[in-house]
Amino acid sequence: MRIWYHTMAIHDNNQVLAVKKLEVGDAKAKLEFENEVLLISQIHHRNLLRLLGWSTEGSNLLLVLEYMPNGSLDSFLWGSKRRSLNWKQRFDIILGIARGLAHLHNECHVKIIHRDIKSSNILLDDHFQPKIADFGLAKFQPEDQTHVVTTFAGTLGYAAPEYAVNGHLSDKVDTYSLGVVMLEIISCRRCTDANFDGPSTDYLIEQSWKLYENNEHIRLVDETLDVKQYEEHVMKIIEIALLCTQSPASNRPSMSEVVLMLQDGQSFRERQLTRPTYIDHNRRIHIGSSKALIPINNHSQKPKRLELNNNYKLRKSMPY
């Protein structure tokens, strides 16, 4: 059992710090804590939350971190500060998260997979620049392996299907999660909410795909945003988000490619999009088309819904 408590502290030099305290009931939780310390003490990037100090003496397990005055991203999407971000701020947040992940995947001495990218794990500084936080589930990916097989640990709704179902973990798992977060930032809607347009019960990814198929994906945008002058840009970002959620994982771009597409307007038209496969919070899997490619603007049949058992194993094989 592990319970996190967050508090604020004032250093002798009047610097405001964030303190993260862990209550543990077993050795595994302490190991996760030490894993987080080991990881974030070795990485430094403007879009990754900085570790300032730690303590593992006795039963007190503490992390001392940068204090982020604007809190977590989710509070600006559906919390107390809901819908207060303009389009430029939202785009800068998306780009910052992508840059942080690209650093973890490609610029550290070893490839680091975060495993739990979601809106509540993105913190915002004074200037609304994002910092990726909570590395307790992070894992290394050896350079000579395309993926590792491990027990699922993360958040359903944000988790890539091949990882949640079969434990196949690669850097493309973070790419998938970023795509989901991008759709949340654009729509101000939780990925697991099953209501969007009238009587529809589609989840966010499914609704985004349907709108894209009909060339109506601008309708996904948070209605409080005035994006008339940015409409083409917004639609492109939605398409990049859908590209990040493709299955199999090999169809997703690397995070370096995502940064280029976001930053330089690099075209991805040579990559045709397919209906995404995803898992909802009730552990049901929604399978996209089994075809390798779906021509843009062609309608495909509604994805099948299969039940997962408690071990996240499918009762039927998946068309990855």
Element (H, E) at 149: strand 148-149
DSSP string, 182-239: HHHHHHT--TT----STT----HHHHHHHHHHTT-GGGGS-TT---GGGHHHHHHHHH
**Residue (of 3, 63, 1, 62) closest to 27 by Cα position:** 1
For residue 227, the one-letter residue type is: V
Question: Cα(80)–Cα(178) distance, rounded to whole angstroms?
Answer: 23
- For 19, counting Cβ atoms within 10 Å of its Cβ (0-12 exposed, 13-18 middle, 19+ buried), the class is middle
Residue extents of the structural domains in the chain: 2-66, 74-307
DSSP assignment letter at 308: B
Judge contact between 91 and 129, C-beta under 8 A: no
165/306 Cα distance (integer angstroms): 12
Q: What topology does CATH give the domain 2-66?
A: Phosphorylase Kinase; domain 1 (3.30.200)
What is the number of residues in the chain?
320
What secondary structure does DSSP assign to 109-138, as a single string? SSEEE-S---GGGEEE-TT--EEE---TT-
Distances (CA, A) of 98 to 153, 166, 310: 21, 25, 32
DSSP label of 248: S
What is the reported pTM?
Answer: 0.83
82: tokens are 């809901």
What was the pLDDT predicted at 268?
A: 62
Q: Which candidate, 2, 210, 39, 44, places its Cα nearest to that of 114?
A: 39
Q: Quick one: pLDDT at residue 1?
A: 41
* Contact between 68 and 49 (Cβ < 8 Å): yes
The C-alpha atoms of residue 317 and residue 320 are separated, in whole angstroms, by: 9
Contact 193, 290 (CB under 8 A): no
> How far apart, in whole angstroms, are the C-alpha atoms of residue 223 and residue 190?
15
Mean pLDDT by 10 residues, the chain (320 residues): 50 71 71 74 90 76 87 92 92 98 92 95 96 88 82 92 93 97 96 65 86 93 90 93 94 95 72 83 67 31 33 32
Give, as one character, the DSSP assignment of residue 50: P
Q: What is the spatial distance between Cα 137 and Cα 145, in angstroms, rounded to a whole number?
A: 19
The reported pLDDT for the residue numbered 141 is: 81
Residues noted as catalytic? 116
Quick one: pLDDT at residue 114?
Answer: 95
Which CATH class for the 74-307 domain?
Answer: mainly alpha
Three-state DSSP at 104 gives: helix
